[in-house]
Structure 1
Amino acid sequence: MAFVHLADGELHYQIDGPDDAPVLVLSNSLGTDLHMWDAQMPAFTEHFRVLRFDTRGHGRSLVTEGPYSIEQLGHDVLGLLDALHIERAHFCGLSMGGLIGQWLGINAGHRLHKLIVCNTAAKIGDPSVWNPRIETVLRDGPAAMVALRDASIARWFTPDFSAAHPAAAKKITDMLAATDPQGYAANCAAVRDADFREQLASINVPLLVIAGSEDAVTPPSGGHFIRDHVRGAEYAEFYAAHLSNVQAGAGFSDRVLAFLQAQ
């Protein structure tokens, strides 16, 4: 296991692929860890040095007192890049990771080559969605995380996918049950408070937006909004619910690679 030391704790990361290849950073969704990208690794590591990390509050990374902010999580990414002496990288984030990607595109575009944001929006939900979840998780702890896991299958995957691939769905949803309740609640607050609708136009790095046609958490309309407000942005949509990288699999990987390798 590898860690970088931030000012307030350790951020867990994993790096795979050729030493001399361009760096591609992958950022996980709320309630998962860096292994949510396992399906992409064989394809991505053929062409890139892939840097995955557990967002603060997730996996093996630090859990600090909340609430967190997307700005704070974005600075964690910059701290990771600095610690590993990576001046610029490609960045691909899904859901909360897509919010982090938007923040980086707006505030630290000079550190990015290309940016991909998946199953996300410039604003995700509102306090009426997030505050009861935060309260429940902080009150009930691990029991609440198990309940969230059981409810997440329908949000994260279409019924036909979870029926046909139960082991793949279980592997991902088990990550949610294993997430630290304090860290999860703190990240819920970060997602709740993020709103980049007025700032998207300042993104000037090449951008690909990916959506899932059956995503009830961040519907395609949110992806359309980002595409329409960032000059030159590309858009792709797959038959998938919220975790399009898992459900669309090779199709997702191929589209990302085509975007990253285009001249």
Structure 2
Amino acid sequence: MQVRELRIPPAPRLALDVSGAGPLVLFVHGIGGNRGNWRAQLPAFADAYTAAAMDVRGYGDSDDWDGPLVYADLAHDIARVMDRFHVQRAHLVGLSMGGRIAMQFTKLYPQRLGSLTLVDTHLSFASLPAPEREQFVRTRREPLLAGKTVADIAPVVAAALAGPFATAAVRRQLEDSIRALRRDSYLKFLEATVESDTIGDLGFIDVPTHFVVGECDTLTPPELARRMAAQVRRDDVEVSVIARAGHLSNLENPDEFNRVVRGFLDRQARLERANLST
């Protein structure tokens, strides 16, 4: 199915790839990614949904911005995307940092969410064990502040994220997305990721929620996903563990990822149709 590109004003303009028609499913990438990381997902959803992958501001073809990073602004950007599609509600799928953005959106715009899929993510940097926090800073922010480029750190960061079963092609794709980062914008995101804690307990979530995590994810492991799921005070909370995948589960095992995420969304669609008919 054809993929079309969109640019959404005003500044900072946001770039999206879009395919299909139907309820809007918006995919939000991680801190080392861009919208291209979802290229294996769009065709798998486009037969029944408007599948859209966005470049977060400061990434890919989206604009940079002046000033520090405020996570609330990233949530407002998602609202802008939804307004461009003229929809009141959307289904959000957020990977890692994208999951944190999706959770922030859920806090600020609860009435605009159909469902929430949180992939290989965490509540805040403080929720990670000290060794993981130290490695994150040591392999990313410290080298850049010392004068290295994002191209210099790409192989090290990619190796820390990919699981043991990741193919050479997946590792290349991950390294390429890291090399495409803009140093100054990336540093803003790194600082916000390390220093801010904007989510808190997940008891505020009041929509069907799906936690998806790679079985080999060492940064945000399956047990962390289960602890987060336990904070959501709803019966329709699911946890799926993707076999043979690390922190980039949608890249490392796309067939299994698409199956479980599509299955979750299809179940929500069926329930919504049933509720409308009663």
TM (norm. structure 2) is 0.85
Q: 1:1-263, aligned counterparts within 5 Å? A: 1-6=5-10, 8-18=11-21, 21-124=22-125, 125=128, 133-140=140-147, 143-161=148-166, 165-195=167-197, 198-231=200-233, 232=235, 233-239=237-243, 240-262=245-267, 263=271
3-state SS in 2 of match to 1:50? strand
8 Å CA contact 1:24–1:91 kept in 2: the answer is yes
Greater RCO (CA < 8 Å, at least 6 residues apart): 1
Shift of 1:153: 2.7
| Aligned AA (1:179) | L
Alpha-carbon separation, structure 2, partners of 1:78 and 1:197: 18
Shift of 1:28: 0.5
Shift of 1:66: 4.7
Q: Deviations over 1:42-95 (max 9, x none)?
A: 211122111111011111111123531322211111122123322111110000
Alpha-carbon separation, structure 2, partners of 1:35 and 1:212: 20
3-state SS in 2 of match to 1:26? strand
Structure 2: runs of 5 or more not aligned: 272-278
Q: Deviations over 1:165-221 (max 9, x none)?
A: 212320222011111001111111232244356331010010000112211221223
3-state SS in 1 of match to 2:211? strand
Instruction: Indicate the residue corresponding to 2:274 in structure 1.
Output: none
| Aligned AA (1:174) | D
8 Å CA contact 2:119–2:211 kept in 1: the answer is yes
Alpha-carbon separation, structure 2, partners of 1:75 and 1:144: 30
3-state SS in 2 of match to 1:93? strand
What do you get for the CA RMSD once the two structures are aligned?
2.0
Identical aligned residues as a percent: 27
Structure 1: runs of 5 or more not aligned: none
Distance change in 2, residues 1:197/1:34 (3 Å): closer
Of 35-44 and 143-152, deviating more is: 143-152
3-state SS in 1 of match to 2:13? strand
8 Å CA contact 2:12–2:57 kept in 1: the answer is no
3-state SS in 1 of match to 2:241? strand
3-state SS in 2 of match to 1:24? strand
Shift of 1:2: 2.2
8 Å CA contact 2:18–2:42 kept in 1: the answer is no
Alpha-carbon separation, structure 1, partners of 2:110 and 2:188: 26
Instruction: Indicate the residue corresponding to 2:276 in structure 1.
Output: none
3-state SS in 2 of match to 1:241? coil
8 Å CA contact 1:16–1:50 kept in 2: the answer is yes
Alpha-carbon separation, structure 2, partners of 1:218 and 1:254: 21
Of 110-119 and 100-109, deviating more is: 100-109
Aligned length: 255
Alpha-carbon separation, structure 1, partners of 2:66 and 2:218: 30
Alpha-carbon separation, structure 1, partners of 2:174 and 2:136: 21
Shift of 1:237: 0.8
Alpha-carbon separation, structure 2, partners of 1:250 and 1:128: 33
8 Å CA contact 1:134–1:188 kept in 2: the answer is yes
